């Protein structure tokens, strides 16, 4: 199971390795809008509440270089934050450019909140950071748990869970995965650089690919996420063979001048059903 946690979305893929550089899908890809950018938005909204949206935007427009440094410091704080059962910091700060502190002090008559050093937000409680992450992680863990109880993993237990993407760089995210799934039999693999793992994998695969055909054959089959087909017309006898459709047949029957017979319109002809495995060469 590969958990690709990016900025906007978290994408989950379940594959079985069938040969060197060949895999087949076990479950249709899934996921949701649970990426790290939503943590950023909530944190920015929090700063708006403290300093005011107007003043924050004013600082952004008048000091774009310092604001960029501020954003980078927020990203760094987000990645490096970690609170576990063993290590629980009471506070966790964000490095703030002195220019920002001076700007806010000039704007407001009362001094902006600070600790021993005006360049660091010392007042942010660790619980505040936990809440930023936990709402996203709750959705991610919920989706993973749904997949783990599927028939696929009842027959063949999951062996490996692989974390990838920028959000997977977070120490807190990594630790919470280990804690949440500590009683599971599968192994959680976290690469040294989760952000680069997708690029690295693509490069490794590209080195092995001699032709486009071989590269495409890396995934040997796909699980259909939904049912596919077309709207078409059926003969009356075929339509009536389906149970509980007499009223539908009556409302949609017409005479076709082309085939010179009675047909039923608005029927659905299925090509492949949801959950079916389809070979890549079909």
Q: Is residue 246 part of a domain?
A: yes
Q: Based on the structure, what is the number of domains in the chain?
A: 2
Cβ 100 vs Cβ 73: under 8 Å: no
Cβ 133 vs Cβ 84: under 8 Å: no
What pLDDT score was predicted for residue 114? Answer: 45
What pLDDT score was predicted for residue 93? Answer: 74
- CATH number for 43: 3.30.420.40
Low-confidence ranges of the chain (pLDDT < 70): 83-91, 109-124, 204-217, 281-282
Q: Are residues 86 and 100 in the same domain?
A: yes
Q: Are residues 177 and 238 in the same domain?
A: no
Q: Is residue 282 part of a domain?
A: no
Question: What pLDDT digit, counting tens, does each position of 176-195 carry?
Answer: 999 999 999 999 999 988 98
C-alpha Rg value of the chain to the nearest Å: 27
What pLDDT score was predicted for residue 101? Answer: 82
What pLDDT score was predicted for residue 262? Answer: 93
What is the DSSP secondary structure assignment for residue 95, as one 8-state letter? B
By residue range, what is the domain housing residue 237?
228-276
C-alpha distances in angstroms, 94 versus 43, 106, 111, 173, 224?
Answer: 11, 21, 18, 18, 45
Q: Are residues 175 and 207 in the same domain?
A: yes
What pLDDT score was predicted for residue 113? Answer: 47
Strand 228-235 versus strand 219-223 pairing type: unpaired
Q: Are residues 138 and 120 in the same domain?
A: yes
Domain C-terminal end among 190, 208, 223: 223
Q: Are residues 52 and 97 in the same domain?
A: yes
C-alpha distances in angstroms, 41 versus 8, 45, 60, 257?
Answer: 11, 6, 15, 60
pTM score, whole prediction: 0.71
d(CA 13, CA 15): 6
Q: Are residues 16 and 156 in the same domain?
A: yes
């Amino acid at each position: 199971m590969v958990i690709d946690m990016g900025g906007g979305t978290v994408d989950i893929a379940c594959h079985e390795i069938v040969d060197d550089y060949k895999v087949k899908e076990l479950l249709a890809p899934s996921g949701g809008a649970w990426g790290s950018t939503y943590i950023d938005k909530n944190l920015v909204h929090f700063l708006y509440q403290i300093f005011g949206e107007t003043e924050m935007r004013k600082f952004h427009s008048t000091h774009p270089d310092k604001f960029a440094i501020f954003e980078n410091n927020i990203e760094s704080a987000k990645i490096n934050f970690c609170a576990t059962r063993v290590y629980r910091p009471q506070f966790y700060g964000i490095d703030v450019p002195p220019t920002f502190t001076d700007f806010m002090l000039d704007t407001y008559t009362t001094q902006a909140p600070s600790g021993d050093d005006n360049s660091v937000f010392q007042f942010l409680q660790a619980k505040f950071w936990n809440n930023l992450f936990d709402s996203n992680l709750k959705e991610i863990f919920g989706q993973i748990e749904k997949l783990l109880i599927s028939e696929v993993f009842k027959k063949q237990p999951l062996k490996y869970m692989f974390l990838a993407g920028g959000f997977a760089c977070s120490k807190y995210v990594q630790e919470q995965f280990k804690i949440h799934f500590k009683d599971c039999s599968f192994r959680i693999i976290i690469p040294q650089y989760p952000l680069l793992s997708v690029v690295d994998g693509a490069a490794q695969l590209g080195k092995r690919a001699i032709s486009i055909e071989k590269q495409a054959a890396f995934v040997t089959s796909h699980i259909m996420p939904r049912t596919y087909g077309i709207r078409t017309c059926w003969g009356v006898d075929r339509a009536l063979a389906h149970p509980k459709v007499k009223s539908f047949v009556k409302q949609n029957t017409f005479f076709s001048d082309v085939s010179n017979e009675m047909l039923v319109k608005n029927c659905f002809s299925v090509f492949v059903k949801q959950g079916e495995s389809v070979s890549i060469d079909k």
